[in-house]
Amino acid sequence: MSMEALPVEVIRHILKMTLPSREEAMRLGRISLLDTPWSLTFVSSLWRAIALDIPGLWSSITIIIPLSSAPWTNYPARLLELQISRSGVHPLQVIFISDETPGWTTAKLFTTLVESCDRWETLELRSSEWPLESLPRLRERLPLLREMLLYSISPGRNSPLHMADIFQSMPQLRVARFRDLRVFSFALPGARDYINVPWAQLTKFEGMYADELRLAVNLVECKVEVATTSQEPKFFAHLKTLTLLHAQSDFLGSLLLPALEDFLTDIYCDQFEHVIAFLEQSACSLRKFRMFSHPPIDQFLRVLMCNPHIVEIGIVGGEVLQGQRINDVVAALTLRPQQPVYAPELTRFLIHDHRRVLDLDAVLDMLDSRQDLFHLHGCARLESFSLIVARPQVFRGIFRARIAALRAAGLEIELVAGDQTYLSLES
């Protein structure tokens, strides 16, 4: 059967499956007749008619302009206009990234794109030189926007533009991510030091902590960098996932998160007692706990005892002098007769040993025990283990053989050395 003989519904499904993923679109970074969905219109008259009748095929717009503007001076702006037109009234997913200096093409294309901003559903926005004339046109014209990712949009010290309230009115916004600290620092006379968004609507936030975040009372997931020691109480009743970076103990002590289940922190190990105090005052029950240090073993075990339902543990970083601590953790998680059982529901374990202080034999013993003896101790069976090291030499000889045996027994294992994956969970 030829493709032309297929039912129209099947062809529609095939056309939708040819669309590039977000990662592929980012790699292509342009609007081109060689890319889907444009290329689909050249297959046959039938395919062209079907492609033009599916607005969703044309609703993902990805524009990435490199540093040098010379090759982009004739960027096909007409193709952008045509794609927007073909998307009909379908909500748009927009990625606009520009490193062009000066931003001539950036201004031209962004101005064209802004004409359709009332249909933007997701937005990823980054530019080294923003078209300041076009940004104010977004104000109160983003009724469908649900997810927003902004990089640095600071207009600079000498700009008269006041941008704090451009993104204030977005009735559907639920996810806001700010990936550059400058997004909160305008350094303008009389300007606010934050971008105002409808905080109470947000369920997910990523960025620099600002006092206004306290208004985001419906947050469920948050990744925040902290540059303040504010001790004013902060209560988030629904927050389940928190990544807390660069926070001082005073800030940690001001948090109350009774629903917290997933916690990642880089707080220094010598302040780890403040982590314990924070968890106890929140009266939460962790399911996932990851840290960028090797805490004293007694404090770490205290966390495990107070949170018996932890299913995932991740330990990253740590100094050479703290090397024994990670080995103490491994020993404590090893199932042995006459030894207390910690983390009885543990199914996933991650270790990043960039300092080469890990006792690999002890790790293998722990994995064996969690595979072979779990039922005797009333534990869950460990399902996956990830180990990241600096050099691949450790993945040789007996270690490799024992890893192969564990994989044969059903344990998913990932081994990574530097930037190279030697064994993946999917392999």
Concatenate the DSSP letters of all residues of 154-180 into one string.
---TT-----TTTTS--TT--EEEE-S
**pLDDT score, position 155:** 47
Q: How confident is the model at residue 6 (pLDDT cuts 50, 70, 90)?
A: low
Q: What is the pLDDT of residue 382?
A: 96
Span 281-308, mean pLDDT?
92
Q: Please state the rounded mean pLDDT for residues 387-401.
A: 79
| Radius of gyration of the chain from its Cα atoms, rounded to whole angstroms | 26
Crossing angle for the helix pair 360-372 and 323-333, to the nearest 10 degrees: 20
Mean pLDDT of 344-349: 97
Cis peptide before 160 (omega within 30 of 0): no
Task: Give the separation between CA 196 and CA 209, rounded to whole angstroms.
Answer: 13
Count up the domains in the chain and report the number: 1
Q: What is the average per-residue pLDDT within 122-148? A: 85
Q: Contact, 272 vs 249, CB < 8 A?
A: no
Report percent pLDDT > 70 for the chain. Answer: 82
pLDDT at 322 over 70: no
Residue 7 vs residue 212, higher pLDDT: 212
Q: Is the pLDDT of residue 427 over 50?
A: no
DSSP 8-state code for residue 367: H
Task: Please say if the pLDDT value at position 414 is more than 60.
Answer: yes
Lowest-pLDDT range of 56-70, 182-196, 203-217, 412-426: 182-196
Across the strands, what pairs with 223? 206, 243
Q: Is residue 425 part of a domain?
A: no
15: phi then psi, degrees, rounded to nearest 5? -60, -40
pLDDT of residue 42: 82
Of residues 41 and 287, more confidence is placed in 287
Which residues span the domain enclosing 42? 1-145
Residue 301: the pLDDT is 94
- Cis geometry, peptide bond prior to residue 37 (ω within 30 degrees of 0): yes
118, 142 contact by CB (below 8 A): yes
C-alpha torsion 289→294→298→299, nearest 10: -50
Give the range among 224-238, 302-316, 338-352 with minimum mean pLDDT: 224-238
Provide the 3-class DSSP secondary structure of residue 230: coil
Q: Provide mean pLDDT across the span 64-68.
A: 73
Looking at residue 332, its pLDDT comes to: 94
- The H or E element that residue 45 is part of is helix 45-52
Distance between CA atoms of 305 and 83, rounded to whole angstroms? Answer: 57
- Residue given tokens 């491994």 in the structure block: 330
Residue 273 to residue 293: CA distance in whole angstroms: 13
Q: Are 104 and 90 in contact (CB under 8 A)?
A: no
Give 415's pLDDT tier (boundaries 50, 70, 90): confident
397 backbone φψ class: left, alpha, beta (φ>0; ψ -120 to 50) = left
For residue 186, what pLDDT is reported? 37
Q: How confident is the model at residue 386 (pLDDT cuts 50, 70, 90)?
A: very high
pLDDT for position 378: 92
Res. 251 pLDDT band, cuts 50 70 90:
confident
In whole angstroms, what is the distance from residue 149 CA to residue 262 CA? 22
d(CA 61, CA 25): 9
Residue 362: the pLDDT is: 92
Q: Residue 257: what residue type?
A: L
Contacts of 367 (CB under 8 A, 6+ apart): 382, 385, 406, 411
Half-sphere exposure of 221 (CA within 13 A, CB side): 6
pLDDT, tens only, 364-382: 999 999 999 999 999 999 9
| 177: nearest Cα among 204, 198, 152 | 204
Give pLDDT, residue 17.
78
Mean pLDDT of 331-344: 93
- What is the rounded CA–CA span in Å between residue 277 and residue 273? 6
Mean pLDDT over residues 46-58, rounded?
A: 85
> Average pLDDT over the chain, rounded to whole?
82
Provide the terminal-to-terminal Cα distance of the chain, rounded to the nearest Å. 35
Tell me whether strands 120-127 and 262-265 are parallel, antiparallel or unpaired: unpaired
What pLDDT shows up at residue 321?
A: 45
* Identity at 422, one-letter amino acid code: Y
In this model, does residue 90 exceed pLDDT 80?
A: yes
On the question of pLDDT at 5 being above 60, the answer is yes
Q: Is the pLDDT of residue 65 over 90?
A: no
Inside any domain, residue 16: yes
Whole-number percent of the chain with pLDDT over 90: 40
Kindly state whether residue 69 falls inside one of the protein's structural domains: yes
**In Å, how far are 61, 100, 136, 157, 373 from 150, measured between CA atoms?**
16, 17, 15, 19, 49
Mean pLDDT of 190-216: 82
Residue 164: how many other CB atoms lie within 10 Å: 16
Q: Is 251 contained in some domain?
A: no
- 61, part of any domain: yes
Residue 3 inside a domain? The answer is: yes
**Is residue 255 in a domain?**
no
Count of CB atoms situated within 10 Å of the CB of 357? 17
Dump pLDDT digits (tens) for 136-193.
888 899 999 999 998 865 444 434 345 667 888 899 999 999 876 444 443 333 444 4
For residue 249, tell me if it sits in a domain: no
For residue 323, is pLDDT > 80? no
pLDDT (mean) for 22-30: 69
